[in-house]
Amino acid sequence: MMLSAFDPDDLATLLQGELGPDERRRTVRRLLSRTELPLAPPLTPKLQGDPAPAEPAQIEEIGEIRLSERARTLLREHAGVPELLRRLESLTPAERMAGVRTDRELQSCPLCQRLIDGSLDLVHADMPRAAELAELAIAISQELDAGRYGAGLVNDLKARAWACLGEVLRNQADLRAADGALAVAETLLGIGTGDVFEEARLLELKALVRRDQRRLDEAHGLLDDVIAVYRQYRDFHLVGRAFVQKGSVHGTAGELEPAVRWLRKGLGLLDPTRERRLELSARHNLMLYLHESGRDQEAWFLLKASRPEFLEHGGELLNLRLRWLEGKIQQALGQLREAEQALNETRAGLLGQDAGFSAALVCLDLASLYAAQSRPEQMRRLAEEMLPIFRSRDIHREAIAALIVFQQAVRMEKLSSGLLDEIRSFLSRARTDPKLRFEYSS
């Protein structure tokens, strides 16, 4: 059965007793089949605490009785979320954390879900804020009243919060900690409602960690399992999302044609209104792989057509990535002055976001551009202006060692294309593997 979009009017009409018996049963079945509600976790039969699966008729009967009370609670709490968010915003970070642990009004499922959604939405726009929201969501989930919501639902929400933190940690390139957070989430789902969508989403996030760990066969296997679940329930947006992730795994392996193919398939299924930044990020990756496979005109056309949507919905970090890609494509197309401007703007913007690894990679792209134009003075100035990168929080010792080699080679006018490529390749891998050693013999 295809999962239709949740309509709050369905719930309100049901609670007001305005439906006939047949329509009431259909509405209850539709509500019970949903895996997510706006700002609230799933309402499924197992949520109600039944130890064994019930027959469909029993589910409807039990659901109509029990849904009303829990649905009314969630509707009231849903309506109060904006005011609770305003209260949280008026506090300092320390006060917010203390508040969610002591203030019963803040200990609500809808607020917890809103914080999870907000954290995931900010991962590519404001990483410190995303991390804070994930930690607040975990703190709230620990305080939720199992008697009020149901133990299964509370454990599902705890798992979502920990999975959210895992995704934040993955984007911070702390893969060991991300693995740990996802393991906690997996344990909690084991004592949750048994919702297959919760399990599939966790496998999807786990696949991204495996991709970043370069355990690519495992990542593909996990995504194949995820796709099977989403196809079974005919949620084509989620199928498209998993296709996009398959494309990213192929891209990580340098398999550009399969990456482009999977991304195109995924983008054809995604509903941008459900996950706008995901759709834009997938589009960015498609353009990147088109560029890397030598299809620069195609990538350039798509970039120009996409720019207005990125500016409106992309957020600062995603737009910086787009500007970076623009510079690389312009360089490939021979628009060297425009490329230099784009790369310099990107470097400055990434340093402002404390994204040292990315800023370092932009510097290497600039060095490549200067080398192709025989501009040693600009290259030396670039090497001398790298101090802010060394001070960035996400640059570790081995990455700094590689950049020092780059600096010294520039100063001695011995920077070869081979060394430049080796440093670039090392930084791309070292971002998620701080123990990776940089060794270069000239």
Distances (CA, A) of 22 to 18, 25, 27: 12, 5, 9
Calculate what percentage of the chain has a pLDDT beyond 70.
83
Dist CA 438 CA 78 (whole Å)? 52
* Position 62 pLDDT exceeds 60: no
pLDDT at 168: 95
* Beta-bridge partner residues of 40: 37
Tokens of residue 405, six digits? 């080699």
* Position 61 pLDDT exceeds 60: no
* Position 69 pLDDT exceeds 90: no
Listed range (29-38, 51-60, 308-317) with the worst mean pLDDT: 29-38
Listed range (50-54, 217-221, 254-258, 370-374) with the worst mean pLDDT: 50-54
As a whole number, mean pLDDT of residues 173-202 equals 94
66: confidence class by pLDDT, cuts 50, 70, 90: low
Dist CA 132 CA 94 (whole Å)? 10
pLDDT at 32: 36
Could you tell me which of 59, 76, 56, 58 has the C-alpha nearest to residue 15? 76
* Position 259 pLDDT exceeds 90: yes
As a whole number, mean pLDDT of residues 90-99 equals 92
As a whole number, mean pLDDT of residues 138-160 equals 93
As a whole number, mean pLDDT of residues 293-307 equals 96
203: confidence class by pLDDT, cuts 50, 70, 90: very high
pLDDT at 44: 30
What is the per-residue pLDDT across 100-118, written as a single tens digit (0 to 9) for each?
A: 999 998 999 999 999 999 9
What is the per-residue pLDDT across 305-351, written as a single tens digit (0 to 9) for each?
A: 999 999 999 888 899 999 999 999 999 999 999 999 999 999 999 99
Q: Across all residues in the chain, what is the average pLDDT?
A: 85
Dist CA 317 CA 125 (whole Å)? 5
pLDDT at 242: 98
pLDDT at 48: 34
pLDDT at 437: 87
As a whole number, mean pLDDT of residues 364-380 equals 94
* Position 304 pLDDT exceeds 90: yes
Q: How far apart are the first and last CA of the chain?
A: 62
What is the per-residue pLDDT across 205-243, written as a single tens digit (0 to 9) for each?
A: 999 999 999 999 999 999 999 999 999 999 999 999 999
* Position 159 pLDDT exceeds 90: yes
Element (H, E) at 225: helix 216-232
365: confidence class by pLDDT, cuts 50, 70, 90: very high
Q: What would you report as the CA-atom Rg of the chain, rounded to the nearest whole angstrom?
A: 24
pLDDT at 395: 87
435: confidence class by pLDDT, cuts 50, 70, 90: confident
51: confidence class by pLDDT, cuts 50, 70, 90: very low
pLDDT at 39: 34
Q: Residue 5, by phi and psi: left (phi above 0), alpha (psi -120 to 50) or beta?
A: beta
